[in-house]
């Protein structure tokens, strides 16, 4: 069901965030993120001589190369457009993510390495959906490869990691009753 019809309005800003996951031929995964911000009007900017309507204020990309444990082996960060001439100079700091594992504590580790003046707000923000994309890429790919080989999905020992992570996986949902009946609880 789409959103309801909006009130009368005019567009002033568009942010686009794209995240993609790739299986490399060497077995590693590339997770790529791209962010752009565009205005529908001219933005005064003495560093760029003004930013025309439709011209990106921000145009930035990151590629994380990760292994099967989601440990980062390689980082590439690029600022093709930013509001200030010095914006691209901070991308080298993103090398601090090498060796970091995407998993519990991810946000805290990223902010410790790249928070505030040590990073770029927009590139750091891009890392949040990239982490989700990494999970989707890895676990979807593992499942696809098992199906291709005719293997069954492995059974989880203990509490399923996705239990209570969202409405559908809530312990009182019919989804949990179907796929993890041992963890299902009758609604109160």
Q: What is the pLDDT of residues 93-139, one digit of tens each?
A: 999 999 999 999 999 999 999 999 999 999 999 999 999 999 999 98
- Start-to-end CA distance of the chain, whole Å, equals 29
Beta-carbon-side half-sphere exposure of residue 50 (alpha carbons within 13 Å): 4
Query: What's the pTM value of the predicted model, to 2 decimals?
Result: 0.88
Domain definitions of the chain by residue range: 13-148, 156-188
H helical segments located in the chain: 106-114, 121-148, 174-179
Q: What is the pLDDT of residues 73-84, one digit of tens each?
A: 999 999 999 999
Q: CA-to-CA distance for 127 and 32, rounded, in angstroms? A: 10
Angle between helices 106-114 and 121-148 (to 10 degrees): 140
């Amino acid at each position: 069901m789409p959103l309801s019809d909006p009130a009368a309005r005019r567009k002033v800003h568009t942010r686009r965030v794209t995240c993609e996951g790739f299986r490399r031929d060497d077995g590693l995964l590339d997770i790529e993120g791209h962010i752009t911000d565009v205005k529908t009007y001219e933005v005064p900017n003495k560093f760029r001589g003004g930013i025309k309507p439709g011209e990106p204020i921000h145009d930035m990309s990151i590629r994380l190369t990760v292994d099967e444990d989601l440990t980062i082996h390689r980082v590439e960060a690029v600022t093709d457009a930013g509001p200030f001439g010095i914006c691209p100079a901070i991308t080298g700091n993103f090398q601090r993510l090498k060796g970091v594992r995407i998993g519990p504590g991810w946000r805290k580790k990223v902010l410790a390495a790249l928070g505030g003046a040590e990073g770029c707000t927009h590139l750091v923000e891009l890392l949040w959906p990239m982490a989700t994309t990494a999970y989707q890429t890895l676990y979807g790919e593992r499942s696809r490869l098992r199906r291709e080989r005719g293997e069954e999905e492995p059974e989880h020992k203990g509490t399923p990691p996705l239990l209570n992570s969202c409405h559908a996986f809530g312990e009182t949902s019919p989804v949990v009753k179907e796929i993890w009946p041992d963890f299902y609880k009758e609604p109160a």
